[in-house]
Amino acid sequence: MSALNVNAIDKESGSTLTLGGSGTTVQPHASATVSGFGKILQVVSATLDTETRTTSTSFVTSGLTATLTPASTSNKVLIFCNGGSMLTGSWSESTTTALYSSIGGATAAEIDVFEKMVFGTSATGEGGAHSISYLYSPNTTSSVAITPYFKGGGANQYFTEAGFTVSLILMEIEG
C-alpha cells in the first residue's frame, strides 16, 4: 500500500478528474469531510390519512404536499410516495397517479418523464397501495413543493380510502 500526501489536487483545464479505475473502490478516511458524493442533506415528510376521491378524468390534487428548499441547483430530490389504498369501482376503471412540482410558489406542473401508476381492479372495487419513487432534478434553490395528483376513469376513484395513510418523503441528495 502506498500513500500520496499533497495539499491539493486539481484537474487540467477542460478535463475530468477521475479517482480510481474500473473495479476500484474509492473510500475516504472515516474522519474525513466528504462532499459531492450523493450525501443526503435533508429529509422532509408529510402524511395523508383522510379519504380522498374523485370522479374526474383530469388530474386533481391529492391534498398531500411536502416542501423542501435545495441548497444547490445541482442537488436532486429523491421522492417516495407509499401507502394508502387506491380503489376503483370496477375492472374497466383505473386510477392514475402523477407527481407535480411547484417551484417557488408557482402553479404546480406535472414532472416530466414520470411513469404513472395505473390500477385495473376487479368488479368488487379492489385496489392497491401506492409505491412511487422518483429522482427529480429541480435545478433551483427556491422552495420545491411536491404533490401527488390523481385521476380516474369512473365514479369514486380513490387516492386513499378512510382508515389508510399515505406518506410522502422527500430527500435532498447532494449533486
Mean pLDDT within 48-70: 89
Using the predicted structure, report yes or no on whether residue 161 has a pLDDT greater than 60.
yes
Q: What tens digit of pLDDT does each residue of 71-101 get? A: 999 999 999 988 776 655 555 556 678 889 9
Residues in the chain: 175
Distance CA 119, CA 165 (A): 18
CA angle 57, 60, 62 (to 5 degrees): 130
Range with lowest mean pLDDT among 18-22, 32-36, 54-58, 90-94? 90-94
Distances (CA, A) of 170 to 132, 136, 167: 12, 10, 10
Q: Which residue has the cell 376521491?
A: 53
Using the predicted structure, report yes or no on whether residue 67 has a pLDDT greater than 90.
yes
Mean pLDDT within 161-169: 87
Highest mean pLDDT out of 62-66, 126-130, 148-152: 62-66
Q: Which residue has the cell 410522502?
A: 168
- Element holding 44 (H helix, E strand): strand 40-48
Residue 168 CB neighbours (<10 A): 24
- Percent residues over pLDDT 70 in the chain: 79
Burial of 75 (0-12, 13-18, 19+ CB in 10 A): buried
Identify the band that residue 115 occupies on the pLDDT scale cut at 50, 70 and 90. very low
Amino acid in position 75: N
Query: What's this model's pTM, rounded to 2 decimal places?
Result: 0.73
Output the nine-digit C-alpha cell for 114.
414520470
Query: What's the pLDDT score for residue 11?
Result: 78
Distance CA 58, CA 155 (A): 13
Domains of the chain: residue spans and CATH: 40-173 (2.60.120.760)
Distance CA 146, CA 101 (A): 5
Identify the band that residue 135 occupies on the pLDDT scale cut at 50, 70 and 90. very high
Q: Which residue has the cell 374523485?
A: 54
Identify the band that residue 66 occupies on the pLDDT scale cut at 50, 70 and 90. very high
Distances (CA, A) of 113 to 6, 98, 116, 129, 137: 44, 10, 9, 22, 11
